[in-house]
Chains A and B, each alone.
Chain A
Amino acid sequence: VSDRRPLVLVADDDPDIRSLVALRLERSGYEVVAAGDGEQALAAALERVPDLALLDVMMPKLDGYEVTERLRQQEATRHLPVILLTARVQESDIARGVEAGADDYVKKPFSTSELRDRVQAVLGR
């Protein structure tokens, strides 16, 4: 188990960003599961519970807030660390994220190295 790479769920409707984040995390030693919308993200998280979820806020079908809320309702994912990726920077948006149960948020545009640092901080590595 000790050599198991931590699993990170990356959900973003923008494939470029999805690949970018996946690339950076994989190269930093993480296993990545990618999802293109909120439903896929929720399904993936429940199918195989990740160690951390990076969720874009503005996604089709279910947005990042809703996915977070639903994850919090499930026993398996109740304590799953969630970081929201958001281009919306108004305080009401941030408050919404906290309400939904997110642990942190990263404003777009972000530096991938900064994102990696945040992920490492949350996972305690």
Chain B
Amino acid sequence: VGTPFRQRVSWKELRGLEGRPRQDPRLLARFTFYLYAAGGALTLITLALPGPPNRNELALAALAGCAYASSVGVLLAFDRLRMWSFELLAALGTILITSTLYYAGESVGSYRLFYFWVGLSAFYFFSRPRAFLQLAFIGLAYGVLLAVIPPPYGALANWLVVVVSLAVAGVLVSLVTDRLELLWERERVVEARYRSLVEQIPLVIYIDALDEPSSNIYTSPQIEGLVGYSPEEWVEDPELFRKLLHPDDRKRVMGEIARSHDADAESFCSEYRLLARDGRVVWLHDEAVTVRDENGHPLYAQGYLLDITARKLAEMERERLLAAEQRARTEAERARGAFARQNADLVRLNERLLELDRLKDEFVALVSHELRTPLTSIRGYLELVLEGEAGDLNDEQRQFLGVVERNAHRLLALVGDLLFLAQMEAGKLSLEVGAVDLSAIAAESVETARPLAEEKDVTLTLATGPLALIAGDRARLAQLLDNLISNGIKFTPSGGRVDVRVRSQRGSAVIEVRDTGMGIPSDEQQHLFERFFRTSRATEQAIPGTGLGLAISKAIVHAHAGRITLTSEEGAGTTFQVSIPIRQAQPAPLEQEEVAS
């Protein structure tokens, strides 16, 4: 919302402002003829007064009467006469009166001439620009008179004095009026300044009557820029204010104005909205005081209107933002509360998970106990029976019980694997670390697996290079080798071979188990070490297994800070390679040194 006010007024502009005309030439001309008329009348009166005998008092009286009558005539016809005719008549009147006086033989010092001089001075006083013109006429008139009618000796000098006196008086009067001109000019400037102040200050100044409904006496023109109604419209329509008031503000503001008109009320201050001619809503700050006369009687109210639309809009925007901020704060509080609740839920959930984890551990321990105890009985009694403790067995009985024993072993291995994985997942896989001779372990594993290899007609070889002792868990590493070798044999068809190599390579112990088996499809290799994963071939060919062996092998290798990798070609064979760092002082995780065995 731009301000409708002009902000600056130049000095030049200020001087150009038209003030009320101070010098009305016609008014001054009229005044001149009043003087002439008065002069004529005074002459007639003075002629009637007793004095020294005069030659032509009658003629003098006639001329004076003539001057008086013509002056009155001019005054009567004044409004219809033009300016130049006043000048001419004034000059003629001067000549007429002067020549009459001359003819009558009046002296310069005559009191009658004094009146005349006073009249002229007054005229010059009020009409400086014309004084020189008047003087020119008068001088011309005297000049003509002196040329045509030579004055008596002595009288000439007197008349010269008259002329000089008039000239000097004219100059003096000019000086005085110059001074007055200056004062008037100043007055005009001051007034222009006040007008500018009132009419161009970025406010609307107004004066209202104290009647009902406070009709407007004066409104400064800035009002038009504000609401589009001119000062004249405000003065003409006393209801305009009420009509333009915003309906929501009308009752309140009219009440406030009415209260401000009470006898003891001193001022009025309010903020409200006006509807501009173009439909805009303009916010105004309105402040007024009651002006009183010296007796305290209220005369009128004067005040100003200030456009506060921008401020109000800013305030509303600020309130809107504050409200938004408040909402955001409330929202944040709510979110914080929700978060706290969620957090509490998570804490509870976490506690529950910890509890579940503990229960799982207990469960694993329990299951392992409950499964192993019956297996102990099965194995133990089988052993007794097979040893002949319960009497001799025939071959068939021995064969059948062998199947039972083999499956008991499988079941036991499965329980062991499951327990091992459960511990591993719980992060509780711990090693019984000691100095381990990998070559020896490999030899044992190969020997253990040899019956199986022979049974399947698979050639099983072992090649060991010189190898330092490594820090590791002997039982776990044996388990690892057993897994890899038995896997190799299981997946290698008759006539194939499984080669085990153990050697040292760049600070690591490397175990390599190469078979000439069916190989593993490349898309299955990445899943090979996952729990319960079985290759499609293993499933197709019903090769026994749980899918736990390689997952366990990988866990054992990782627990020894090693790596296990494989290369495989379908139909050609698979090679597993395990690499375990030799300078592994304390394989993690490590809880406990080896205990009794």
Contacts and interface: CB of A to CB of B under 8 A. Distances in A.
Among A24, A91, A110, residue most surrounded by chain B Cβ atoms (within 10 Å) = A91
Nearest to B366: A58
B385 to A, nearest CB: 11
B264 to A, nearest CB: 98
B368 interface: yes
B-side binding surface: helix, strand, loop or mixed? Answer: helix
Q: Bin the interface of chain A by size.
A: 20 to 34
Contacts of B365: 88, 90
B169 interface: no
A125 interface: no
Contacts, number: 76
A89 interface: yes
Interface stretch (A12-20, A37-45, A71-79): A12-20
Contact of B428 (A20, A88, A90, A109): A90
Contacts of A90: 365, 423, 428, 430
Contacts of B375: 108-109
A88 B369 contact: yes
Given A14-B377, A91-B430, A108 B372 contact: yes
Interface string B482-513: 00000000000000000000000000000000
Q: Bin the interface of chain B by size.
A: 20 to 34
A104 B432 CA distance: 16
Interface string A6-39: 0000000010110011011001000000000000
B591 A91 contact: yes
A111 interface: yes
Contact of A24 (B373, B384, B419): B384
A120 interface: no
A91 B595 contact: yes
Given A88-B365, A108-B372, A110-B379, 12 more contacts: A17-B376, A24-B380, A87-B368, A88-B368, A90-B365, A90-B423, A92-B591, A95-B592, A98-B596, A109-B378, A109-B379, A113-B383
14 contacts: A16-B377, A17-B373, A20-B376, A20-B381, A87-B369, A87-B372, A87-B376, A90-B365, A91-B591, A92-B591, A108-B369, A109-B373, A110-B380, A112-B384
Question: Top 9 A-B pairs ranked by shortest CB distance?
Answer: A109-B376, A87-B369, A87-B372, A16-B377, A20-B380, A91-B592, A109-B375, A108-B372, A94-B595
